[in-house]
């Protein structure tokens, strides 16, 4: 794809360290895997998030920790924590549309507060040793919000900006606005990465033809649905090898069928596969039945 940058988007509860490793080892084709966002909760950086960004868990996998913050103070605390872990590459999430984050001014909600983004810009400039990037939406309530903060974003020391061309209030509903993406691309001084509703390699090629200066694409739900998308490997073999890695890790590290199956069901939730076989896997409440359902599904994928 002519050296197009390829990123795997994060999705909370799905693209954890073991999933990222399974995809990297069994498929590859990704330049960087982004972690689900690290956040501050009840005044502290979530320990669960830091377990996922533990460098040992991510060793050998090209990983980018992502943070979500409401202001410069939160951003600074998150950066300091990740830098203590040894990270020199951090992505800022200004695109999460989930109401629990938006209502406190994080994710796409941050786009409504330019002065807070200026605080974050200053914190970035205080850390020349860190390579930053930003993921954002067109705005939360209107595109004017995103346009208004672009001068601030243009002054940030960034590798690139990833833009999902929807408003935060849309969440994942409606069509992506590719005309608006083009407008942002014209005024963005940083290399820009496209994210949103990419489900096939053909769509990636079309984006590249439309915008030859595009740095790359970030794939999320489309790659979860078809993890083999970036290779010519047989889908069944990809799923079997990825599942083996995830299964072994989950069984060795979690306790009880309920906890184990909760994580294993997430592996299949977004997958593009026959409904009957997926339903049998998702309904399994005991490991023996789960294994039977997986074996049956592998015959028809």
Per-residue pLDDT reduced to its tens digit, 208-265: 999 999 999 999 999 999 999 999 999 999 999 999 999 999 999 999 999 999 999 9
What backbone torsions phi and psi does residue 39 show, to the nearest 5 degrees? -140, 165
Residue 1 has pLDDT above 80, yes or no: no
Verdict on whether the full-model pTM lies above 0.85: yes
Enumerate the β-bridge partners of residue 134: 92, 161
Provide the pLDDT for residue 301. 82
164: nearest Cα among 175, 153, 154, 156:
175
Q: For residue range 169-217, list pLDDT tens digits in order.
A: 999 999 999 999 999 999 999 999 999 999 999 999 999 999 999 999 9
Residue 158 has pLDDT above 80, yes or no: yes
If pLDDT is split at 50, 70 and 90, which confidence band does 2 have?
Answer: low
Residue 32 has pLDDT above 90, yes or no: yes
For the chain, the straight-line distance linking the first and the last C-alpha, in angstroms and rounded, comes to 27
If pLDDT is split at 50, 70 and 90, which confidence band does 300 have?
Answer: confident
What backbone torsions phi and psi does residue 193 show, to the nearest 5 degrees? -115, 135
Q: Indicate the domain borders of the chain.
A: 5-225, 235-297
Q: For residue range 197-207, list pLDDT tens digits in order.
A: 999 999 999 99
Enumerate the β-bridge partners of residue 164: 137
Enumerate the β-bridge partners of residue 145: none
SS3 assignment for the chain: CCCCEEEECCCCCCCCHHHHHHHHHHCCCCCEEECCCECEECCEECHHHHHHCCCCCCCCCCEECEECCCCHHHHHHHHHHHHHHCCCEEEEEECCCCHHHHCCCCHHHHHHCHHHHHHHHHHHHCCCCCEEEEEEEEECCCHHHHHHHHHHHHCCCEEEEEEEEEEHHHCCCCCCCHHHHHHHHHHCCCCEEEECCCCCHHHHHHHHHHCCCCCEEEECHHHHHCCCCCCCCCHHHHHHHHHHHHHHHHHHHCCCHHHHHHHHHHHHHCCCCCHHHHHHHHHCCCHHHHHHHHHHHCCCC
Q: In CATH, which superfamily holds the domain spanning 5-225?
A: Aldolase class I (3.20.20.70)
């Amino acid at each position: 794809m002519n050296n197009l940058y390829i990123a795997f988007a994060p999705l909370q509860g799905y693209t954890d360290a073991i999933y990222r490793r399974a995809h990297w080892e069994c498929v590859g084709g990704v330049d960087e895997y982004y972690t689900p966002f690290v956040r501050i909760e009840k005044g502290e950086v979530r320990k669960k998030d830091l377990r996922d960004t533990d460098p040992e868990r991510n060793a050998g996998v090209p990983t980018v920790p992502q943070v979500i913050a409401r202001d410069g103070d939160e951003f600074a605390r998150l950066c300091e924590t990740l830098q203590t872990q040894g990270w020199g590459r951090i992505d800022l999430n200004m695109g999460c549309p989930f109401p629990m984050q938006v209502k406190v001014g994080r994710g796409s909600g941050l786009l409504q507060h330019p002065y807070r983004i200026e605080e974050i810009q200053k914190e970035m400039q205080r850390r020349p040793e860190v390579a930053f990037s930003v993921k954002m939406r067109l705005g939360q309530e209107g595109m004017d919000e995103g346009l208004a903060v672009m001068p601030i974003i243009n002054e940030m020391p960034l590798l690139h900006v990833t833009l999902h061309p929807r408003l935060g209030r849309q969440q994942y509903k409606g069509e992506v606005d590719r005309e608006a993406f083009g407008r942002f691309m014209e005024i963005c001084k940083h290399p820009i990465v496209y994210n949103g509703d990419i489900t096939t390699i053909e769509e990636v090629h079309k984006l590249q033809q439309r915008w030859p200066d595009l740095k790359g694409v970030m794939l999320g739900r489309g790659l979860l649905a078809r993890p083999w998308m970036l290779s010519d490997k047989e889908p069944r073999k990809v799923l079997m090898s990825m599942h083996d890695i995830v299964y072994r890790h989950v069984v060795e590290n979690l306790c009880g069928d309920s906890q184990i199956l909760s994580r294993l069901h997430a592996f299949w939730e977004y997958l593009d596969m026959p409904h009957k076989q997926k339903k049998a896997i998702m309904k399994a409440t005991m490991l023996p039945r789960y294994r039977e359902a997986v074996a049956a599904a592998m015959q028809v994928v």
